[in-house]
Amino acid sequence: MTTRTETIRAAGGYLRSWLDAQVRHRRVPGVQVAVRHGGELVLSAAFGVADVSTGAPLTPEHLFRVASHSKTFTATLVLQLVEAGRMRLDDPIGVHVPELEAGASPVARVTVRELLGHQAGVTRDGADADFWQLEQPFPDRAGVIAAALRAGPVLRRNEHFKYSNVGYALVGLAIEAVTGVPYAQAVRRGILEPLGLTRTGADHEPARADEHVSGHTGLLLGEETREPLGSGGTGAFAAATGFFSTAEDLALYGSAHVLGDDRLLGDDAKRVMQRLESVVTAYGTEVGRYGLGLALTTVGERQLVGHSGGWPGQITVTFVDPADGLVVSVLTNAIDGPAEELATGLVKLVDVALHPRTEVPAAPPGSPPPSSSTGRFAGLWGVVDVAELAGRLVLVRPTWPDPLPGVEELQVVDAGTLRVAPQPGFGPAGELVPLERDAGGRVVSLRLGGVTYRQVEEFRRRRASMTGGPAPSPGLWS
What average pLDDT does range 103-124 have in this prediction? 95
Instruction: Give the separation between CA 99 and CA 311, rounded to whole angstroms.
Output: 29
Which pLDDT tens digit goes with each residue over 324-356?
Answer: 999 999 999 999 999 999 999 999 999 999 999
Instruction: Answer yes or no: is pLDDT of 477 > 70.
Output: no
Band of the pLDDT at 2, cuts 50, 70, 90?
confident
Q: Is 213 helix (H, G, I), strand (E, B) or coil?
A: coil
E strand intervals along 293-405: 295-299, 302-311, 314-320, 327-332, 375-379, 382-389, 392-396
Where on the phi/psi map is residue 211: left (φ > 0), alpha (ψ -120 to 50), or beta? alpha
pLDDT of residue 472: 59
Produce one character per residue of 443-470: b if its CB has 16 or more CB atoms within 10 Å, e if not. bebbbbeeeebbbbeebbeebeeeeeee
Distant-in-sequence contacts of 287-292, Cβ < 8 A, 24+ apart = 290/117, 290/118, 290/161, 291/117, 292/75, 292/79, 292/89, 292/113, 292/116, 292/117
Instruction: Give the separation between CA 73 and CA 192, rounded to whole angstroms.
Output: 10
What average pLDDT does range 188-217 have in this prediction? 97
Instruction: Give the separation between CA 467 and CA 470, rounded to whole angstroms.
Output: 8
Instruction: Give the separation between CA 378 and CA 251, rounded to whole angstroms.
Output: 34
Instruction: Answer yes or no: is pLDDT of 304 > 50.
Output: yes
Q: List the one residue out of 57, 320, 61 whose CA is nearest residue 200.
A: 61
Domains of the chain, start order: 4-52+197-353 (3.40.710.10), 72-179 (no CATH), 370-467 (2.40.128.50)
Percent share of the chain, pLDDT over 90: 94
pLDDT of residue 345: 98
Instruction: Give the separation between CA 222 and CA 276, rounded to whole angstroms.
Output: 40
More confident residue, 105 or 333: 333
Percent share of the chain, pLDDT over 70: 98
Work out the number of other CB atoms within 10 angstroms of the CB of residue 54.
10
Instruction: Give the separation between CA 330 and CA 308, rounded to whole angstroms.
Output: 9
Instruction: Give the separation between CA 128 and CA 130, rounded to whole angstroms.
Output: 6
pLDDT of residue 471: 60
Produce one character per residue of 224-261: b if its CB has 16 or more CB atoms within 10 Å, e if not. eebebbebeebbbbbbbbbbbbbbbbbbbbbbbbbeeb
pLDDT of residue 1: 74
What average pLDDT does range 119-136 have in this prediction? 96
Instruction: Answer yes or no: is pLDDT of 301 > 50.
Output: yes
pLDDT of residue 277: 96
- pTM, entire model: 0.96
DSSP state of 440: T
Report how far apart the first and last C-alpha atoms of the chain are (Å, whole number). Answer: 40
Which pLDDT tens digit goes with each residue over 42-82?
Answer: 999 999 999 999 999 999 999 999 999 999 999 999 999 99
Within the chain, how many helices (H) and strands (E) appear? 15, 21
pLDDT of residue 470: 66
pLDDT of residue 473: 58
Instruction: Answer yes or no: is pLDDT of 28 > 60.
Output: yes
Instruction: Give the separation between CA 343 and CA 15, rounded to whole angstroms.
Output: 11
Instruction: Answer yes or no: is pLDDT of 433 > 90.
Output: yes
Instruction: Answer yes or no: is pLDDT of 478 > 60.
Output: no
pLDDT of residue 100: 95
